[in-house]
Structure 1
């Protein structure tokens, strides 16, 4: 079994219990720290949390697991096997994309099936598919396998990796990259939309994120029985088993410091918790502009944070039906009449468009236990601009929800209105208020080329010794693999408490 932290060992405080924070806590606990996780909400998980309503169970955020080995590592650090506690099921097809004309593309791990899907849209693009997957594998080997768990907090690290990254075409966008392999417009959508699932605009996100295609093929797309909440609950149990603690309704309002070093945190009620190491899984913008508001900052000043491009917003409608829609899979993308124009309106023009693009998650297609018998649990996430648009979501929320409902009724869920029995909506305003998300963004800092690697907020704070950052806004980036990899980096940059000395860096 891993070493159990003793009371005289250094204390690590983790702010936030998203996947990045929970993974960070487990990794620090395995290295001898006494760990306290502080969560301002009334349940763990952050954006990966769970809520229950009228007998339905809803995952609040991420639902696609493409790198199960990153979770398996956390159980292994605690001397356990994840498969003894979590039932991960492969989803096939990975997802279905429904285009505006009613045609459907199904993505899967079967090479023959994928060639057949591509051939239905454009036979001449089948050769491009093979080249696309070969190049995605190369990109993934460098940009993810070799670099995602490296600190990238020195300019030298950037210079060292630059030749490989240039060779991989990172100066192109994902959409430009995909257009090199496919001439059919629908196929270009099908192979370029994935950055939207982690807050990136395919028209501006670096082509490094084409690696997602290889991650899906190599590791599969999985669903955890019990929902994402089952993973969160499992990680919380690991922390408790290490002797760590999780405090809910613990709102950190300040990271305290002395002589340029983090000394702990202060809660909303005035309680101070001393720490040798502080790890923030809070939104990066909130960490620097709110929790460090009184501290001198050389690099990540309020002005610098304001200059960063944040991801788009999302309207997330959770709803339950009193009937099942068995023709609908776990993951479906409902495309609108526009693609590039919609992306420009949302990301660049910051206007709320009349049309939309919807990710529909039907959890009960994989796990009927998440709803009452004969019912379905859904959430629909629609692409919208962040709060920089000036949209008054207090006024617009219901009309926009009704627009999503109408679109789903016209495409995948006929008769939905007559079968609705429960409903809950989140807008960018809720993301701002609930998660302290800058501008209500759904995925923190947008993964553009010059907001990637060294250009992204570092996992080791340049402004305060003993402060570390994990989660979507820091390196390597947003998404579940990014959050888990950011915690992995702590093994490199946080001193090992088992060595018998306190942190010094």
Structure 2
């Protein structure tokens, strides 16, 4: 029986797949090019501050619970969770914000205060979203994207219209307040596409938001990475850092037989890549690459990001753990990402202040903050542009929240397109993979199993089910299930 499996990259999908494969009895080694594990979910430590450099939102806790339960464990065996209340705050202008509570009944009250009668429509909308969540997350998203028939079930058949309508149309049917509309359209941004291009079926993300809530792992999201690494090691997975995979070696029948790491050849029976899909195929001879550069250039990618990790020498006012700044036109910003491919003139941005919830993430009396501006992948990325946009959002932060902060900055570190390329070999420096639009859903996404190379598989946000941390966990399970069925049985 073929036993040796090599996994490229150590993001969430790779970590999940590693555990499943080890549990099935295979010899699994994870090779990570960087010096820490977790892929984009890395951690930045400086001057007593702790920052999650990648994901900062913990949504869909049931997906994490299901993952750990597959190994007879619970998330609480590895990290502690706190449900955030408030969940987040949204600024629409100066002294104009809505704070979303941590429970649904209070959210309904907030909606009713903003627009009389809207809570009735919200309840109906979230009920439909829950129904879709139960269909999608408990069934459909665990399918491997091999055939369009995977989407055809008695429950999806009666919802076929939702795949041809959009989130934008559904949200705006009964809600008139632009503020409430923006709040309801916000969750699909995690899917990497505009609400006007996202199928209405994906309103299940609204149930993830209002129904399942927003959570914080004590110590930050990197605690989830550490927990998954610990689980994998308990199952016998071997982890190797600073291990840059330079080539996937094939035999005469185009079957994987080895990988070249830092110039050294290592025999293997199978390769599963959680690294960037396009980059992974450059490790192969051109004749057996499935997708050309032209193919990738024609895909609709989820955004890249300009990120800042900032330490303040005081506690900030009038912000929550998660704070969204939607005081400029979302559609204009979205055009710069998906249509004109330019730097936005008036960017929306997101800020995370985790030290509000978790005092261990910053020295006493100080604040840790992460700021994120969504950008088109492939943009010019220079120190001058980064500084320009940092000043833009700091001025907006001061104006909107009514406080001075620029003079209280101890340090800042930035991260953008060039860094995503350098650290993760990310195509055009994208941060979140492929957008979940109709033409890139399920079986229309890049395949998990290579069609040209035997025993080569892919996992992660460029395959099924798509971008985000919970989908990445699911992708790892899908890939491992497919491997066990088709290659190693």
TM-score normalised per structure 2? 0.94
186, 195, 217: which one pairs with 2:188? 195
Alignment correspondent of 2:131:
138
- Confirm whether residue 157 of structure 1 aligns to residue 146 of structure 2: no
SS at match of 2:127: helix
Measured after TM superposition, the shift of residue 44 of structure 1 is 0.8
- Confirm whether residue 383 of structure 1 aligns to residue 367 of structure 2: no
CA contact (8 A) 1:152 1:453 kept: yes
SS at match of 2:185: coil
Alignment correspondent of 1:427:
416
Measured after TM superposition, the shift of residue 350 of structure 1 is 1.1
- Confirm whether residue 325 of structure 1 aligns to residue 316 of structure 2: yes
CA distance in 1, matches of 2:166, 2:259: 40
Question: CA 1:274–1:162 in structure 2 vs 1: closer, same or farther (change >3 Å)?
Answer: farther
Alignment correspondent of 1:470:
459
61, 73, 77: which one pairs with 1:68? 61
Question: CA 1:138–1:71 in structure 2 vs 1: closer, same or farther (change >3 Å)?
Answer: closer
CA distance in 2, matches of 1:170, 1:232: 34
Alignment correspondent of 1:499:
none
Greater CA deviation, 427-436 or 445-454? 427-436
Q: Deviations over 1:117-155 (max 9, x none)?
A: 112221132222112102111221222221111112124
CA contact (8 A) 2:130 2:207 kept: yes
13, 20, 24: which one pairs with 2:6? 13
Q: How many residues align?
A: 488
- Confirm whether residue 263 of structure 1 aligns to residue 257 of structure 2: yes
SS at match of 2:364: coil
CA distance in 2, matches of 1:208, 1:292: 37
Alignment correspondent of 2:288:
296
Measured after TM superposition, the shift of residue 114 of structure 1 is 1.5
CA contact (8 A) 2:319 2:401 kept: yes
CA contact (8 A) 2:2 2:488 kept: no
Runs of 5+ consecutive residues of structure 2 not aligned to the other structure:
none
- Confirm whether residue 480 of structure 1 aligns to residue 469 of structure 2: yes
Question: CA 1:233–1:115 in structure 2 vs 1: closer, same or farther (change >3 Å)?
Answer: same
Over aligned residues, Cα RMSD in angstroms?
A: 2.2
355, 358, 362: which one pairs with 1:371? 362
SS at match of 1:320: strand
Q: Deviations over 1:249-300 (max 9, x none)?
A: 1111222223132233222x21122222211111222223x23353423x42
Question: CA 1:323–1:126 in structure 2 vs 1: closer, same or farther (change >3 Å)?
Answer: same
Runs of 5+ consecutive residues of structure 1 not aligned to the other structure:
1-7, 497-501
CA contact (8 A) 1:319 1:420 kept: yes
SS at match of 2:256: strand
Question: CA 1:180–1:263 in structure 2 vs 1: closer, same or farther (change >3 Å)?
Answer: farther
Alignment correspondent of 1:490:
479
CA contact (8 A) 1:326 1:365 kept: no
Alignment correspondent of 2:76:
83
Query: 1:325-364 maps to which residues of 2 (within 5 A)?
Result: 325=316, 327-364=318-355
Question: CA 1:250–1:368 in structure 2 vs 1: closer, same or farther (change >3 Å)?
Answer: same
CA distance in 1, matches of 2:335, 2:22: 44
Greater CA deviation, 17-26 or 158-167? 158-167
Query: 1:147-296 maps to which residues of 2 (within 5 A)?
Result: 147-158=140-151, 164=157, 166-167=159-160, 169-258=162-251, 259-267=253-261, 269-288=262-281, 290-296=282-288
CA contact (8 A) 1:53 1:422 kept: no
TM-score normalised per structure 1? 0.91
SS at match of 1:432: helix
SS at match of 2:196: coil
Measured after TM superposition, the shift of residue 158 of structure 1 is 4.6
Measured after TM superposition, the shift of residue 79 of structure 1 is 4.0
Measured after TM superposition, the shift of residue 162 of structure 1 is 10
Q: Deviations over 1:170-215 (max 9, x none)?
A: 2222222211231221111110022223422222222232111112
Question: CA 1:271–1:181 in structure 2 vs 1: closer, same or farther (change >3 Å)?
Answer: farther
Alignment correspondent of 2:403:
414
